[in-house]
Amino acid sequence: MLAVVCPGQGAQTPGMLAPWLEVPGVAHTLGELSEVSGLDLARLGTTADADEIRDTAVAQPLLVASALASARALGAAPDVVAGHSVGELGALALAEVLDDRTALRLVALRGRAMAEAAARVPTGMSAVLGGDPDEVLARLAELGLTPANVNGGGQVVAAGTLDALAELAAAPPTRAKVIPLQVAGAFHTDVMAPAVDVLRDAAAGVTPADPRVTLLTNADGTPVATGAQAIDLVVQQVARPVRWDLVQETMASLGVTGLLELAPGGVLAGLARRVLPDVERVALKSPADLDAARDLAARHSGTSVPTTNQEDQP
């Protein structure tokens, strides 16, 4: 059984799309998605510097567009799909709940709304690596911080005020390491409530389809039953914690044997290495990984995956 996953914010790196533009079909896909996002995604993924693509309003559509462009170039047919944080909108497109253009339109709106919400009050996020899980959560509660991402494998991302995060770094839980993250604010907390309202209003005009494959939600890792539920969950997710640990637990219970992380891959495959050690993994970091990804998909999904792509469209 093949799971295909879409990475979340923080996975972007300068120049990450440069080699992908040589793959037939990718330039055309990025051009279409640039139209609906209002961003020059090809430029942002090739020549923009780290500061420019760190901007939430830029990073989110860039990441989802990269995942979808690599997915369309690959042509694999997954059994299970999921996305981490903003990657969940990419997963909705893979599950055919939304078409790619609608997904990017919502992602671009999400990114702008979250950036605006973050600018209202100084907040941030820090990764907490290691330590006893109960002690980590107790320390966050003591400081009034939210476990915004519970990723499994001993990784929790804390979100809240800058003072509380500084106190966490000064006195971390036993055997835990605290790493400040370069993000605009406390994502997946109540700070993002204004962005939820914006995204909900936009989503009200969308007519989703029911998932064509098993789609797992960040809310609690369970399969999503309908398109309407998928849209509701992805809207609420903006101000609610990401439970990637539960997504991975569900993958294990479903019998997933192969995991493919779309571009820019690496983070989620790394988490799976620790949490799902018996699951074969491939991360699409560049087009050089396409052959390995096609082989993985063919063996674990039981679906024939083409070894060549259609010629790029004008």
Cα diameter, the chain: 57
Separation CA 8–CA 78 (nearest Å): 19
Catalytic-labelled residue, pool 37, 70, 85, 126: 85
Q: Is 121 exposed, middle or buried (0-12, 13-18, 19+ CB in 10 A)?
A: exposed
User: Who's near 38: CB < 8 A, 6+ residues apart?
Assistant: 108
Phi, psi of 161 (to 5 degrees): -70, 155
**Residue tagged 């979808």 (tokens):** 68
Query: Contact 62/45 with Cβ under 8 angstroms?
Result: yes
Catalytic-labelled residue, pool 34, 37, 126, 188: 188
Query: Contact 8/66 with Cβ under 8 angstroms?
Result: no
Q: Is 188 considered catalytic here?
A: yes
Query: Contact 301/258 with Cβ under 8 angstroms?
Result: yes
Separation CA 301–CA 116 (nearest Å): 41
Query: Contact 3/259 with Cβ under 8 angstroms?
Result: yes
What residues are annotated to the active site? 85, 188
